[in-house]
Homo-oligomer: A and B are copies of this chain.
Amino acid sequence: MGCAPMGHILYDEVMRYNPKNPYWFNRDRFILSAGHGCMLQYALLHLAGYDSVLASFLHILSFLLNLKSFRQWGSRTPGHPENFETPGVEVTTGPLGQGIANAVGLALAEKHLAARFNKPDNEIVDHYTYVILGDGCQMEGISNEACSLAGHWGLGKLIAFYDDNHISIDGDTEIAFTENVDTRFEGLGWHVIWVKNGNTGYDEIRAAIKEAKAVKDKPTLIKVTTTIGYGSPNKANSYSVHGSALGAKEVDATRKNLGWPYEPFHVPEEVKAHWSRHTPQGAALEAEWNAKFAEYEQKYKEEAAELKAIITGELPAGWEKALPTYTPESPADATRNLSQQNLNALVKVLPGLLGGSADLASSNMTLLKMYGDFQKDTPEERNVRFGVREHGMGAICNGIALHSPGFIPYCATFFVFTDYMRAAIRISALCEARVIYVMTHDSIGLGEDGPTHQPIEHLASFRAMPNVLMLRPADGNETAGAYKVAVLNKKRPSILALSRQKLPQLPGTSIEGVEKGGYIVSDNSSGNNPNVILIGTGSELEIAAKAADELRKEGKTVRVVSFVSWELFDEQSDAYKESVLPSAVSARVSIEAGSTFGWAKIVGSKGKAIGIDRFGASAPAGKIYKEFGLTPEAVVAAAKELC
């Protein structure tokens, strides 16, 4: 493996970590952005003393021999490194470019915390972030986005190794990747070092790391030219070693070539003895830091409490009292504005809340008014300016969230542009990162910008994604409820779909209702048996309520249900679900300014789903709603056909 020396030097000489407590706060972070090199990482974690991988280490070696236990059901050594499977793995990589962007997030987190909490006599936050990335990561746009930001922010403690092996899956990189990476990174504001012999140049790698550490105002890219499959006499420098086993014969030849006389599965005593020092060393490092933190706690009580909350993830008692509440008399407002009221209320009680927008802060309404911008020279601030880099933004937030359990990063753009960052959102869901996605302009209600900017299928597309909470609040109370849910769900991301247009504060909405996902907002029936159930989400809940008023005038019994989060509703008891959507009532009409895909499950085969199954149009919101048939009249007409 050509990248072995980099990994070796990092785990054996450079990084500070405690194998017995993989989540010790002040550890250096290491990310293998090119997820396919995971065998190396698993092997190093084992040597470094991480217990949990021990059992699976044999799987790794066995892979080299074409045996059948690496990447198996239930193992701790899956096909790509995943933080939720393997202790010591910081994030979930595999999809190219995510890891380097996660690393930018981790380095941002460190720079922010250091600026916010360090004191002249006690630098309580102080670690590096290391990452190895390959040609594939370099080609992905997300890595350019994240690295442009790393340069802009001057993340001096981010050190990236570029494993320059000239091989990707389709063969020599000559066929698709001939740009000058060094020059590009210089353009991005990085310090660039080239290690020409990465296969055996241990001293050059050591010197490069030293140089990188000396450059404090820029991140460093160490381009390490290597040979993929180094050591294998017949397969080195070919794409065939990328994802396939060498085969028994070539393993044998490689062993001979490298002068490795030991049996398979055998780690020589001297190697064990050499690496065994990491266990006591790591424990000592942590103990030293604990003592330092005890001092810090004594001297800087308030700051220590805040930092502790970020380190542990414990929410301050009574934090939810900060959530604003509304009555029907409160002024009508866009949920994007109500979202900003929540963010600004919550930032006072949640020390780990920080975030920003992809160049739409004033449209997404995400500015924290008490704070300035997180910038190169003001990293203690909490408004992050991501520029027009949605994909990088999402992955950076994943890195922040996984830095410490008390971080609550949020990020924002127009809902339709989740398409630009969907891969990062999926990783949030998979790696259990609590990121809050503040997605405004959530329907044709945005009006004139037209179909390129109007989401249609997006609600459905996220309702289908595992482990994501898709929330579409209808007014102030529901927006507060959405934030409560988002903060409390520590192991999954939340997406808030918010309106550009003003919405009234509706009678019957509540934070508690939102926590159940779907709930009754109004009802003039008794015995859980209305003539018809009208179901709305977000901006269309108002339309459902208006239609109900009409129908009630005509003597019907009508229930209005807010269906703010399908996932939360699914998690309620059968009894609760039956109390909201009684199976005996088949007359159901839903209305939502988005694709009707999926609604059949809620309205049933006899019900009717009103929505939009085409692209939007450029016109004022009111006009499009009317033209597309999203009106109280349409709901009334549909209801009358059913009851």
Listed in ascending order, the chain A residues whose CB lies under 8 Å from chain B are 35, 71-75, 78-80, 82, 92-97, 135-137, 139-145, 148-149, 151-152, 168-170, 173, 175-189, 357, 359-363, 373, 375, 385-392, 416-417, 419-420, 422-423, 426-427, 429-430, 448-453, 456-457, 460-461, 463-467, 595, 597-598, 600-601, 604-605, 613-615, 617-620, 623-624, 627
Contacts and interface: CB of A to CB of B under 8 A. Distances in A.
A186 B189 contact: no
Contact of A362 (B169, B463, B619): B169
Contact of A457 (B175, B461, B619): B461
Given A72-B618, A152-B178, A461-B464, 9 more contacts: A71-B448, A72-B620, A73-B618, A73-B623, A95-B452, A148-B179, A149-B176, A184-B188, A464-B595
Contact of A79 (B178, B391, B448): B448
Nearest to A145: B141
Tallying the copies of this chain within the complex gives 2
B417 A420 contact: no
A175 B136 contact: no
A179 B148 CA distance: 6
A464 B177 contact: no
Contacts of A71: 448, 450, 618-619
Nearest to A188: B179
B597 A464 contact: yes
Contacts of A143: 141
A618 B79 contact: yes
Contacts of A79: 448-450, 453, 618
A59 to B, nearest CB: 11
Nearest to A182: B187
B419 A177 contact: no
A78 to B, nearest CB: 3
A386 B623 contact: no
A142 B139 contact: no
Nearest to A449: B79
A97 B598 CA distance: 31
10 smallest CB-CB distances across A and B, nearest first, come from A141-B141, A183-B187, A176-B387, A78-B618, A184-B187, A600-B601, A94-B452, A73-B619, A457-B464, A464-B597
Contact of A463 (B179, B387, B597): B597
A602 B620 CA distance: 36
Contacts of A627: 73
A451 to B, nearest CB: 6
A299 B169 CA distance: 44
A72 B392 CA distance: 34
A420 B419 contact: no
A39 to B, nearest CB: 13
A464 B465 CA distance: 13
A180 B189 contact: yes
B189 A177 contact: no
A614 B187 CA distance: 42
A139 B448 CA distance: 24
A188 B597 CA distance: 42
Nearest to A180: B187
Contacts of A416: 95
Contact of A449 (B80, B135, B604): B80
A140 B423 contact: no
Nearest to A383: B175
A143 B148 CA distance: 13
A630 to B, nearest CB: 14
Contact of A388 (B94, B140, B386, B466): B140
6 contacts: A73-B619, A80-B450, A135-B388, A180-B189, A430-B615, A466-B615
A420 B427 CA distance: 12
